[in-house]
């Protein structure tokens, strides 16, 4: 594997200083089996462990799905890290200094420099006189100066001041746009600030480096402007792969053996204000599998604390389902009277957090509690639907012990037998498997399209893979696959290194997620050659079919030329 911007020597030092069993053990329950250690594979659903980790070879392999590799590839496949991110993560943990080769790092380094300079600029504006309005607003929400400093909160002024400041520091317009801090002007040339008149919360990577911002609008009469604005995906930031507050929460979660998941920046700030630095937030998206896996590696006790309104309650159950699918059993904190965590905790003592923790329930009891308990469910049809929904939630659990536990909870709470609940859960899983073959929403993706897209999506070269240019839209058999390819080509032309699905339609996102969830191997050079040869063959066969159609129709004036061309194609096909 290429070493990226770090020397092979320093990468090997990181590898030697890292214990693969310890790293994988944060996310997978492992048990000794002879000289190896085994557990349920985190890359596919199974009931009998076929995932083995070798302490001697420092490698892992699943005999069920074929996934395997070293500690770097595990983080890449399980947490969606790039190779560089995996190296940096493990180097920081082991205290191993990394030597740069200067080959590949300069581009992303520039974006990190831009974000760091932007953060310094925004913090300076908050401290200056023009930041008084923002400080007053934060004070009105009982956010102390200590929490403001700890979180690195800043202020983006009303005008467009950051862009000219960064241009003066030598950065180009295209760099500012790609870093996510500026937008291209629609009134001519030049750029202007993405964030204006907003309190800004810096979003950092796992090493604490600023990679984006989330902004809260202050006092605008323009209803078209969103109250909250998050930075776009960029070469150093992907919303679905990062957790807001992770860096600070990592050590606190280990100390408390507890992590609290919230939705918003102010909810996160409220927990920090109360002394619970173990809180993290999603970055303006629904919880993703990648984020769930990171949360699962932070602590054994996971709590979800979303808004108390119906939308927040539904989102909490969906987040719990994602965590269950990744092998974790979360507990959900119930908030009364449609309040969000910030509102609920603001005027209460710090002990109120512990009260929420103590009262938190498993996803089944929480979901049933939203209905007022089983005794409030009236009517046979409604009871059937409720039991089916509860069984659906329980069926998301991939860990056998968690699955059995939730099955018993459904039975105990509703009075239905264990056998009935188990049957319903198995039916739900059968439906899930059918949907996984099709793609969510019933979108049928042919094996041909799935193979081509998998080759592109799983390439370690990202959008620099030559397959991006080689595959054409008319090589694909479905509109949704062709649309995904066109988005890849567009992002590649824009200079992005990794494909971001954030701009895709929901159906396209689901197809990408489905493909990446069942294809675990990275695209190697021999895979690329195989795909190109298959495409060459497919195109020749397509051309032959078209020529034969012309010949049968009698519309072409030169039938002999067509026959000669068909013969040439058949000769080439025979030699393939």
Cβ neighbors of 91 (< 8 A, separation 6 or more) are 10, 14, 97, 98
What pLDDT does residue 93 have? 87
- Three-state DSSP state, 263: coil
Residue closest to 174 by CA, chosen among 368, 182, 523, 160: 182
Residue 74 · residue 24 · CB < 8 Å? yes
Helix or strand (DSSP H, E) at 364: helix 363-369
Separation between Cα atoms, residue 44 and residue 518, nearest integer Å: 7
Residue 121 · residue 200 · CB < 8 Å? no
Cβ neighbors of 566 (< 8 A, separation 6 or more) are 544, 547, 548, 551
pTM (predicted TM-score): 0.68
Neighbours of 141 (CB within 10 A): 15
* Backbone dihedral angles phi then psi of residue 244, each to the nearest 5 degrees: -70, 130
Separation between Cα atoms, residue 361 and residue 356, nearest integer Å: 10
Count of alpha carbons within 13 angstroms of residue 283, beta-carbon side? 27
Q: Return the ∠ at Cα 282 (arms to 204 and 488), rounded to 5°.
A: 80
First to last CA, the chain: 30
Place of tokens 């030597």: 99
Q: Exposed, middle or buried by CB within 10 Å (0-12, 13-18, 19+), for 368?
A: buried
* Backbone dihedral angles phi then psi of residue 495, each to the nearest 5 degrees: 95, 5
Residue 290 · residue 283 · CB < 8 Å? no
Question: Average pLDDT of the chain?
Answer: 87
Q: Sheet containing 258-262: give its strands across.
A: 279-281, 258-262, 301-304, 331-332
Separation between Cα atoms, residue 100 and residue 456, nearest integer Å: 28
**E strands of 176-209, at which residues?**
182-184, 191-193, 198-204
What pLDDT does residue 287 have? 92
Q: Which two tokens stand for residue 144?
A: 């102390």
Separation between Cα atoms, residue 44 and residue 491, nearest integer Å: 30
What does the DSSP 8-state code read for residue 284? S
Stretches in the chain below the pLDDT threshold 50 = 1-3, 104, 432-442
């Amino acid at each position: 594997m290429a070493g990226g911007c770090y020397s092979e020597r320093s990468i090997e030092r990181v590898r030697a200083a890292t214990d693969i069993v310890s790293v994988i053990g944060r996310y997978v329950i492992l048990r000794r089996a002879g000289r190896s250690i085994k557990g349920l594979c985190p890359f596919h659903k199974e009931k009998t462990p076929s995932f083995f980790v070798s302490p001697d070879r420092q490698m892992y392999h699943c005999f069920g799905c074929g996934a395997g590799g070293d500690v770097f590839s595990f983080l890449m496949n399980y947490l969606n890290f790039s190779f560089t991110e995996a190296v940096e993560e493990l180097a920081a943990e082991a205290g191993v200094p990394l030597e740069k080769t200067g080959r590949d790092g300069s581009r992303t380094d520039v974006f990190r420099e831009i974000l760091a300079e932007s953060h310094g600029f925004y913090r300076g504006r908050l401290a200056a006189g023009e930041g008084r309005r923002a400080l007053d607003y934060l004070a009105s929400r009982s956010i102390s100066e200590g929490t403001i400093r700890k979180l690195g909160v800043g202020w983006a002024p009303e005008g467009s001041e950051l862009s000219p400041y960064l241009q003066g520091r030598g950065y180009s317009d295209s760099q500012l746009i790609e870093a996510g801090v500026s937008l291209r002007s629609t009134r001519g040339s030049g750029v202007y600030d993405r964030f204006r008149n907003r309190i800004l919360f810096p979003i950092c990577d796992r090493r604490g480096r600023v990679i984006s911002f989330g902004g809260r609008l202050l006092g605008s009469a323009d209803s078209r402007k969103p109250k909250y604005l998050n930075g776009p995906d960029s070469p150093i930031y992907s919303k679905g792969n990062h957790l807001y507050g992770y860096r600070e929460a990592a050590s606190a979660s280990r100390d408390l053996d507890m992590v609290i998941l919230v939705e918003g920046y102010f909810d996160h700030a409220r927990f920090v204000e109360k002394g619970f630095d173990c809180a993290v937030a999603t970055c303006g998206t629904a919880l993703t599998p990648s984020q769930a896996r990171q949360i699962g590696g932070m602590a054994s006790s996971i709590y979800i604390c979303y808004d108390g309104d119906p939308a927040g309650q539904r989102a909490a159950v969906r987040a719990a389902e994602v965590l269950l699918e990744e092998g974790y059993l979360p507990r959900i904190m119930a908030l009364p009277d449609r309040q969000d965590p910030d509102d609920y905790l603001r005027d209460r003592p710090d002990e109120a957090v512990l009260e929420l923790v103590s009262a938190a329930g498993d996803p089944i009891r929480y979901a049933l509690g939203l209905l007022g308990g089983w005794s409030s469910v009236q009517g046979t049809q409604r009871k059937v639907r409720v039991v089916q929904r509860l069984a659906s939630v329980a069926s998301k659990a991939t860990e056998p012990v968690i699955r059995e536990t939730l099955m018993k909870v459904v039975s105990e709470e509703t009075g239905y037998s264990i056998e009935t609940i188990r049957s319903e859960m198995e039916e739900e899983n059968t439906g899930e498997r059918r949907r996984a073959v099709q793609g969510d929403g019933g979108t049928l993706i042919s094996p041909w399209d799935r193979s081509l897209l998998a080759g592109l999506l799983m390439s370690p070269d990202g959008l620099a893979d030559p397959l991006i240019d080689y595959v054409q839209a008319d090589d694909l058999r479905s509109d949704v696959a062709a649309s995904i390819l066109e988005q890849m080509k567009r992002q590649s032309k824009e200079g992005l290194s990794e494909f971001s699905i954030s701009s895709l339609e929901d159906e396209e996102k689901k197809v990408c997620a489905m493909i990446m969830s069942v294809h675990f191997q990275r695209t190697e050079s021999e895979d690329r050659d195989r795909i190109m040869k298959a495409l060459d063959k497919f195109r020749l066969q397509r051309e032959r079919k078209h020529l034969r159609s012309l010949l049968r129709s009698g519309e072409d004036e030169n039938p002999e030329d067509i026959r000669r061309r068909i013969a040439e194609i058949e000769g080439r096909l025979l030699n393939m």
